[in-house]
Amino acid sequence: VQQVNALGGVVLSRAVVEDPPPDDQVPDLSGYTDHTTAALVGLIVVIAVLEVVLLAGPAFAVGARRQRRALALLAAGGGEPRHVRRVVLAQGLLVGVTAAVVSAGLGVGLAAGAVPVLQRHTAAGFGPFETSPRDIALFCLLGAVTAVLAALVPAALAARQPVVAALQGRRVVPGRTGLPTVAGLVLLVVGVLACRASLDKGSAELWVAFSAVPTVLGAALLAPALLALVGRSAARLPLPLRYAVRDADRQRGRTAPAVAAIAATVAAVVALGTSSWSDAAENATRYGPTGPVGTAVVTQFDPAEVPALTAAAGRALPGEPVLVVRGLQAAQGGPDGPQPAVLVCRPDEPAAASCNGFASQYGYLGGDVLVGADGLRAVAPLLQPAGLVQARRALAAGSAVVVGAPAGGQVSLRRVLQRFDPRTGQESAQLLASVTTRAVPLQSRSGTAPVQAVVPDAVAARLGGVGPVSVLVGDDLSKGQERTLRRALTRLDTGTETQVDRGQDDQGRLVLLLLGGVAGFLVLAGTLAASSLALTEARPDLATMGQVGARPRTRRQVAGAYAFVLALVGAVLGCLAGLVPGVAGAVAITRDSYAGAPGGLLTSTLPTGSLHFVRVPWLLLLALVVGLPLLAGAVAALTTRSRLPGVGRRLQP
């Protein structure tokens, strides 16, 4: 039994688990509560509830409009407006509870089926499949409450409808006000200013996330104004598009929530997509292998445990190569005492606590200075073929192979004992051993290397402290083989660490595909619901079109045009609103990274935070603004009946 505490990095051995210390000796970790994660989770829940309310509101409005006559009869028979509201809200509660229970069952079933699939694609070991009844009940309650919230506006509108007009089948257009437009502009300006101000605060990512809320809400409130603007420019459009645009403008109370929901969905996708794509672009630019790709690197062990480690690796993965890598070891120092270190410096630099000559990318190979042919073999997959031949010749001639070797061709290797004085904040170093030797540059494939130098055995012997620093297993391990090796080494209870560099991945593209899929599903749901409501209310108009010679497919064309207009207006508004927090989030995420030189060979003097990556996923935006409206229009047209409704029986005077 061996686990690592993620908070403090404390290794819990079998003895501690079987014989735990008393409570007064256990450190208090209450101060390590991740308030940032909790706040982000709460923010995501709030945004999700808002999205569902805006998307489900038109769906409940469809039901209320279809039951308009029945609700009017209820009011005409003596029912009060509160009775009408309760009927609609009860329907929302019933739908919410049913959907929540069914979704919970489907979610648990999908999770149970996904665990074996995910296990085959990850090296982490999964525990037994467990469910939390409390969490499932909370999610079901959240779904029911969200459905009731979505039914509030349709219930209020149904309770205020004129009884006579509803019984006659006449539509009553509510009055218009410019208050949403003014409030939307104010919230949009506040959101933009808040996103800019968030970059000057600590935990900028969290502040940007909260600052995005007024930006998205402001864009949603601008939906009625944008619909009116589009409606004024519909004179030259074909009949289906002209009718869809003008009807959307006339019925803003019905279409504005759908457009707002689409805009909020697209804004969230654009913001997350811009931030993640910028982060992926930065990782791709700064990527350098931290070890041989596909090779398991085992570190943090006692040298006496090497035979047991190699034997366990051979039994777990028979036939895979096992290489013991030697390096210059630094004896373990206490957390508050002197810290031994091996420095690679220019010969003219003083023996200080550190030297500014060379820097390597952090790697998994167990040390910054490796020794001999086996050490060179460990980094050989990362070197250029010509550089590997030159490095072998240099080691055979007694020279060191150094990342970013100086023009003079010499380097100073120093074993020092570093001390830090907390009172003065000063570092000092005691020189234990020093060797100056010839050096040739290490030429890697990516311009970076996970070590500072590889030195010959004779030079290492003069410095002392040579010993095994890592064990390399395999050369192209699958994730299943990695899991097998981890389990075998865990049984030894030696406290080792195993890392495998899988190379540069396509995580950024996968995130964009996932975001695009989520946006497509939500936008289609909103547009289809709004299109269904529009066709329900457009029955008299469609019947009139049929009487004056419209073809049967006109109904399909109107449905497709309506879905296209709603998706297009919402997507354009959402893209404009999502770019603001997206760019701010990209700056906040990438500017705090190490701003070193692209090659990473020499220590950079650029201050941290002076560089940032902002990459807008233009293909995602193009798919949202062009592809998604076309898809929504096509789906709405294909799922709509083509037969036009007939003209109803005229009322006799």
Each residue's pLDDT tens digit, 458-472: 988 888 888 898 999
Query: What distances in angstroms separate CA 356 from CA 116, 290, 352, 519, 601, one per listed residue?
Result: 49, 21, 10, 49, 12
State the pLDDT at residue 492.
82
What pLDDT does 598 receive? 35
Cβ atoms of 261 and 600 within 8 Å: the answer is: no
Contact residues for 517 (Cβ-Cβ < 8 A; gap 6+): none
CB 357 within 8 A of CB 400: no
Gyration radius of the chain's alpha carbons:
33
- Give the per-residue pLDDT at 346: 79
75 pLDDT more than 80: no
Q: How many CA atoms lie within 13 A of 473 on its CB side?
A: 31
- Among 59-68, 75-84, 134-143, 144-153, the least confident range: 59-68
Mean pLDDT of 321-338: 69
The two three-digit tokens of residue 434, written as one number: 């020093």
CA angle at 264 for the pair 262 and 265, rounded to the nearest 5°: 65
Structure tokens at 357: 């000559």
pLDDT in tens, 228-258: 888 887 778 888 888 888 888 877 767 887 8
Comparison of pLDDT for 572 and 536, the residue scoring more = 572
Q: How confident is the model at residue 610 (pLDDT cuts 50, 70, 90)?
A: very low
Work out the pLDDT band at 334, boundaries 50, 70, 90: very low
Facing residues of 436 across strands? 412
pLDDT given at position 3: 40
640 or 125, greater pLDDT:
640
**Cα–Cα distance between 613 and 599 in angstroms, integer?**
17
Task: Give the residue among 326, 356, 343 at the shortest CA–CA distance from 417.
Answer: 343
Q: What's the pLDDT band for 31 if we cut at 50, 70, 90? A: very low
Amino acid making up residue 22: P
Of 46-60, 73-87, 298-312, 595-609, least confident by mean pLDDT is: 595-609
Asked whether the predicted pLDDT for residue 593 surpasses 60, the reply is no
Report the range out of 2-6, 324-328, 342-346, 442-446 with the highest average pLDDT: 324-328
Query: 267-320: per-residue pLDDT in tens?
Result: 888 888 888 888 888 877 777 777 888 888 988 888 888 999 999 999 999 989
CA geometry: angle at 444 spanning 348 and 474, to 5°?
Answer: 120
The pLDDT of residue 450: 81
Residue 258 identity (one-letter amino acid): A
Using an 8 Å Cβ cutoff, are 184 and 154 in contact? Answer: no
Find, among 619, 629, 623, 647, the residue nearest to 543 by Cα.
Answer: 647
pLDDT single digits (tens) 135-186: 889 888 988 888 888 888 788 877 777 776 667 666 665 556 677 788 888 9
Per-residue pLDDT band at 328 (split at 50, 70, 90): confident
Structure tokens, 73: 């009869």
Tokens encoding 388? 């590997």
User: What residues form DSSP beta bridges with 428?
Assistant: 419
Q: Quick check: 340 pLDDT over 60?
A: yes
What is the residue-averaged pLDDT of the chain? 77
Q: What is the pLDDT of residue 456?
A: 92
Looking at per-residue pLDDT, the higher value among 494 and 377 belongs to 377
The per-residue pLDDT for 361 is 59
Lowest mean pLDDT among 179-183, 367-371, 374-378: 179-183
